[in-house]
């Protein structure tokens, strides 16, 4: 069980990063500690280690979720017009209307999902997390292939 928890911590935090414990306010009713607290050793570094103000890298705060939501909405609205342009271009090229509509929506879904993955990578500092990169890259690749094959299929149907 310990190996599994260590692996999960490694995936969540990333290699080379140390998870800082959260700051806790001591209970005022508790007696003060009798033993002075010594700072942790710097392990040969001449620079002191300062606590991080935010959580460990890879965790999302409420502000991060808000930024991601705004980015996805803005990209979704912007690519909605691009979707209409792709659909009209396929219809001008004599594609079947249902296939052109489906291809336009496939490109829209790809664009919004890819923008969401890229924004999450930047906002949540996820690029060093191999699990995030693998899942995000796999999602983007699958959606890109679906959009390309739907566009080719729609263009060759009529």
Whole-angstrom Cα distance, residue 28 to residue 48? 29
Contact 110, 143 (CB under 8 A): yes
Q: CA-CA distances (angstroms) from residue 71 to 33, 106, 114, 120, 153?
A: 48, 19, 11, 10, 31
Answer yes or no: is 120 within a domain: yes
* Residue at 12 is within a domain: no
Q: Is there a domain that residue 9 lies in?
A: no
Q: Does 23 fall in a domain?
A: no
For the chain, how many structural domains are there in total?
A: 1
Evaluate whether residue 50 is within a structural domain: no
pLDDT exceeds cutoff 70 at 18: no
Cα-only R_g, the chain: 24
Which stretch of DSSP H or E encloses residue 150?
Answer: helix 130-155
Q: What is the pLDDT of residues 88-139, one digit of tens each?
A: 988 888 888 888 898 899 999 999 988 888 888 888 777 777 888 888 889 9
**Does residue 4 fall inside a structural domain?**
no
Predicted TM-score (pTM) of this structure: 0.56
- In the DSSP assignment, the letter for residue 17 is -
32: in domain: no
The C-alpha angle with vertex 57 and arms to 126 and 132, in degrees rounded to 5, equals 25
Cα separation, 130 vs 120, in Å, equals 14
Closest CA relative to residue 129, chosen from 15, 1, 48, 18: 15
54: left (phi over 0), alpha (psi -120 to 50) or beta: beta
Residue 70 covered by a domain? yes
pLDDT digits over 55-76, tens only?
455 567 788 888 888 989 999 9
What's the domain range around 113? 62-155
């Amino acid at each position: 069980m310990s190996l599994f928890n260590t692996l999960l911590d490694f995936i969540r935090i990333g290699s080379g990063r140390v998870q800082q414990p959260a700051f806790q306010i001591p209970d005022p009713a508790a007696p003060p500690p009798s033993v002075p607290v010594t700072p942790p050793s710097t392990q040969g570094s001449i620079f002191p280690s300062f606590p991080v103000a935010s959580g460990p890298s890879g965790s999302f705060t409420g502000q991060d979720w808000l930024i991601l939501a705004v980015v996805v909405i803005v990209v979704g609205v912007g690519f909605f017009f691009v979707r209409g342009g792709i659909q009209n271009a396929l219809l001008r090229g004599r594609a079947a209307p249902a296939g052109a509509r489906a291809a336009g929506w496939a490109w829209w879904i790809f664009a919004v999902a890819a923008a969401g993955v890229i924004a999450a990578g930047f906002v949540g500092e996820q690029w060093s997390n191999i699990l995030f990169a693998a899942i995000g890259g796999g999602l983007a690749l699958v959606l890109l292939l679906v959009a390309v094959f739907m566009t080719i299929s729609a263009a060759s149907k009529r």
